[in-house]
Structure 1
Amino acid sequence: MSLTNQARLLPWVGPEGKPCYLAGDGTGHLSRLADNMESAQLGLAGELIQEAQRVLDERQWMSGELHLLTVQLTEALTSVHRIAVIRGARLPAPAHDDLDALDEPDDEDDGQDTAQPVQHN
């Protein structure tokens, strides 16, 4: 199924909590609305991460504050997970040959991982 014929999972649910899908070529008003909503949800999640870090760094909080933060983080994580699923579904499936190449190490590769950890401030 091509991307133009694939139904898109939308970043919101229907009245009964069921997923909503959009059929189309991805250029219409609802597609742009969904793109904007995804962007807003990701932005809010980023702000919430910073707020959570601030609360945790202060090491002085009340249980109600932690409860509210947990509820908000759960909502944000749910949105971000949904966006990841949505965007992953829109990626083309890798060719079988591409998957085989991932299993074969390069000639110069000694099989050891060389990635370095990244520190975030």
Structure 2
Amino acid sequence: MNPVEKLRLLPWSSPDGKPCYLAGDGNGYVSRLADEIETAQLASAAELIEEARRTLDARTWTSGELRLLAVVTASLADVHRVAESRGARLPVPDDDEPDAEATPGNGDDGGPRHPARACG
């Protein structure tokens, strides 16, 4: 791996819960799969933020539960905003370039496993 090349933290964990990373140029199948999963996770977070806000507005919780929900909601909203901001600043991969991660003979079977990915 090129010393300048950075590892990408993937949006899934190994079976034993350790983080998974991907080395590459960000244009391969696994990178696109990770992008799709992250997009779904961001959408889910946005929905959860709205649901939590509706729950907060209902004011049917104990004061301790309400405070915890308010803090979690604010934190989740901040994290979601940062993730969207960072994602918006990322360059869009050029799909016309050869797919270095999914070339024949590199062991990529089309699933989320990949030899360049390191878990743990």
Scaled by the length of structure 1, the TM-score of the pair is 0.49
Bigger Rg, structure 1 or 2: 1
Scaled by the length of structure 2, the TM-score of the pair is 0.49
Q: Which has the higher helix share?
A: 1
